[in-house]
Amino acid sequence: MLDNFPRGTICIEDIEMGMTRHLRKQVTDEDIEMFAQVSTDRNPVHLDDAYAQDTIFEGRIAHGMLTAGLISAVIGEQLPGHGTVYMGQTLKFLAPVRPGDTVTAEVQVIAIDHAKRRVQLECRCIVDGKKVLIGEATVLAPSRKFD
């Protein structure tokens, strides 16, 4: 790999079908509060214990897009990594993520278009063995040819 790409970046020339990468993160109260501040989404289901207790979730939950952001982290840091450009993402939220949950965010290569440098990734987030988010992402991968 050329010096311009950080260690761990995978260029389109080296991406293979079935490649996977993941990260694990415990979602904290601080994460939820910071996400609320940055996104300006201050829905009380995320921030107010008393309010959230009376919802269908029976307690506070993390923002869905906070969970989805972990997929972005895997793509932007690991597969393909730095220099990747997001082109699209589908998401389906299957279950809530609660403060204290440890989320495993995973991506897997399911299609490659070398000529266009496009990679399609199956994405999922898992808590305690249960899928909480699924989707697909399309990205433009970095290339050594354009260094």
DSSP string, 76-112: HHTSS-TT-EEEEEEEEE-S---TTPEEEEEEEEEEE
Provide the residue ranges of all domains of the chain, joining segments of one domain with +: 12-146
| Check whether domain 12-146 has CATH 3.40.50.720, yes or no | no
Judge whether residue 1 has pLDDT over 80.
no
73 in Cβ contact with 27 (< 8 Å): no
Pair type for strands 85-93 and 20-26: unpaired
Q: pLDDT band at 104, cuts 50/70/90?
A: very high
Six-digit token string for 134: 């699924």
- Quick check: 4 pLDDT over 80? no
**The whole model's pTM is what?**
0.92
The confidence score (pLDDT) of residue 145 equals: 82
Q: What is the mean pLDDT of the chain?
A: 94
